[in-house]
Amino acid sequence: MFNKLLSYISQDIAIDLGTANSLVYVKGRGIVIQEPSVVAVNQKTGQILAIGEEAKKMVGRTPAHIVATRPLVSGVISDFEVTEQMLRYFIEKVHKRRFILNPRPRVIVGIPCGVTEVEKKAVADAAKSAGAREVFLIEQPMAAAIGARLDVQEAGGNLIVDIGGGTTEIAVISLGGIVVSRSLRIAGDKLNEDIIQFAQQEYKLLIGERTAEEIKIGIGSAYPLKDYHPSATNLTKRPIPQKEKSMLKREMPMRGRNLVTGLPEEILVSEEEIRRALEKSVRQIVKEVKTTIEETPPELLADIIARGIQMAGGGSLLRGIDTLIAKETKIPTKIIEDPMTAVVRGAGIVLENLDQLREVLAETEYLEPPQ
């Protein structure tokens, strides 16, 4: 009876607790929050100064006693208390308009598929401490597949590659479960690190994480753009006119501090250089996709060849990565619609249909029978 009363006054939510960004889906309303997973803390007082977008603006620009930190590393909680504060901030922000003093919603949280039982418990405990009355966990590739509207409960193979900020999740899904999976700690953040290392080694230039991310988004690519065009999907490519090719040869300024002189410097970098910087990490992702395919049962592999590889997550927006995977695996590959929100959309669908989709959840330990 009490749980029924709480369900009327609290809004159940689904959270994609990502290393780089966190998204919140509210039952009956859709996605309402999309903010960076960054928290600014005053180390003198222990006070939380800002969370999300406001905190991200402070990264690299704060005095020594204020630290803008990410409480999650590679999809796993590295700072329990700060994660709890961030989750509480999301829950309170969702319920702000309803003037509920102590909201107790049911919460579904997306987790990487390679995490341990201890790490799963840490996520559940953080959500409960933040005010959730019930916590459900769902593996991110499963949520991404549901968000892509794949029929995960049927006896057919679906291969999903979810490239996030901290981890790349590769999973073959059939009959509401994960048959084969890989969790790789090479994703968006590692690509940023590759660009930072490239700048230091090639140009003796020290650049920040935000600059590296802007360059990655601006001119980063996984496949030579002379062979790739945004309108070309899977393995089919249209010929690109010479004028268009020259337009595709883009460059971008890279600003930082020269490690030799100690003075600020700006250098123009090309997309070929950035692609070379990212090549090792991108190749590792492709290798893991191929390994997952090798371990997939033949019957499911036949389904995957027919349906293609589905790509989700912000990292899948790296230009040409779908073309490269398609070329290397000989399987058509496509990026799903709105890949950055796939996990939270999938978790939201489960939230809306919890009784029918209960079997896709990762943990049964925290589940209680429906009231």
Quick one: pLDDT at residue 230? 42
> Are residues 34 and 56 both part of a single domain?
yes
Residue 362's nearest CA partner among 76, 120, 184 is 120
DSSP string, 240-290: --HHHHHHH--EEEEEEEETTT-SEEEEEEEHHHHHHHHHHHHHHHHHHHH
Residue 281's nearest CA partner among 171, 192, 161, 182 is 192
Q: Which two tokens stand for residue 88?
A: 């509480």
Structural domain containing residue 331: 188-335
> Are residues 218 and 345 both part of a single domain?
no
> Are residues 286 and 349 both part of a single domain?
no
Question: Distance of alpha carbon 16 from its chain centroid, rounded?
Answer: 8
> Are residues 303 and 344 both part of a single domain?
no
Tell me which amino acid residue 288 is.
Answer: E
> Are residues 312 and 354 both part of a single domain?
no
Quick one: pLDDT at residue 235? 42
Q: Which phi and psi (to 5°) does residue 316 adopt?
A: -70, -10
Higher pLDDT: 94 or 323? It is 323
Quick one: pLDDT at residue 343? 93
Q: What is the DSSP letter of 336?
A: P
pLDDT at residue 181 tops 70: yes
Asked if 207 and 255 count as a contact pair (C-beta separation under 8 A), the reply is yes
Pairwise CA distance, residues 182 & 87, whole Å = 27
Task: Assign 131 a pLDDT band (cuts: 50, 70, 90).
Answer: confident
What CA–CA distances, in Å, run from 271 to 135, 225, 248, 333?
44, 9, 9, 23
Quick one: pLDDT at residue 60? 72
In a domain, 164, yes or no: no
Asked if 116 and 137 count as a contact pair (C-beta separation under 8 A), the reply is no
In a domain, 165, yes or no: no
Quick one: pLDDT at residue 367? 44
> Are residues 133 and 230 both part of a single domain?
no
Question: Which residues lie below 8 Å from residue 251, measured CB to CB, with a gap of 6+?
Answer: 219, 268, 269, 270, 271
Average pLDDT of the chain is 84
Quick one: pLDDT at residue 207? 94
> Are residues 326 and 203 both part of a single domain?
yes
Residues 329-350 pLDDT 10s: 999 999 998 899 999 999 999 9
CATH number at residue 123: 3.30.420.40
Instruction: Please name the helix (run of DSSP H) or strand (run of DSSP E) that holds residue 325, with its range, or none.
Output: helix 321-329
> Are residues 331 and 343 both part of a single domain?
no
Quick one: pLDDT at residue 88? 87
- Least trusted range by pLDDT, from 231-235, 271-275, 282-286: 231-235
> Are residues 115 and 211 both part of a single domain?
no
Tell me which amino acid residue 273 is.
Answer: E
Quick one: pLDDT at residue 276? 94
Quick one: pLDDT at residue 225? 64
Quick one: what percent of the chain has pLDDT higher than 70?
Answer: 86
Quick one: pLDDT at residue 97? 60
Q: Which phi and psi (to 5°) does residue 55 adopt?
A: -70, -35
Pairwise CA distance, residues 88 & 78, whole Å = 17
CA dihedral 67, 52, 344, 350 (to 10 degrees): 90
What CA–CA distances, in Å, run from 294 to 172, 180, 289, 297, 301?
11, 10, 9, 8, 9
Q: Domain count of the chain? A: 2
In a domain, 129, yes or no: yes
Residues 210-256 pLDDT 10s: 899 999 999 999 998 664 444 344 444 445 454 444 445 689 999 99
Pairwise CA distance, residues 152 & 138, whole Å = 13
Quick one: pLDDT at residue 371? 42
Quick one: pLDDT at residue 218? 93
Higher pLDDT: 103 or 218? It is 218
Residues 28-80 pLDDT 10s: 888 888 888 888 888 888 788 888 888 888 877 778 888 888 888 877 888 88
Asked if 202 and 193 count as a contact pair (C-beta separation under 8 A), the reply is no
Q: What is the DSSP letter of 48?
A: E
Angle at 185 between CA 179 and CA 186, to 5 degrees: 110
Asked if 317 and 234 count as a contact pair (C-beta separation under 8 A), the reply is no
Quick one: pLDDT at residue 259? 93
Quick one: pLDDT at residue 99? 55
Instruction: Please name the helix (run of DSSP H) or strand (run of DSSP E) that holds residue 134, with its range, or none.
Output: strand 134-139
In a domain, 158, yes or no: no
> Are residues 107 and 215 both part of a single domain?
no
pTM: 0.84
- Least trusted range by pLDDT, from 8-17, 73-82, 145-154, 353-362: 8-17
Quick one: pLDDT at residue 217? 93
Q: What is the DSSP letter of 234?
A: T
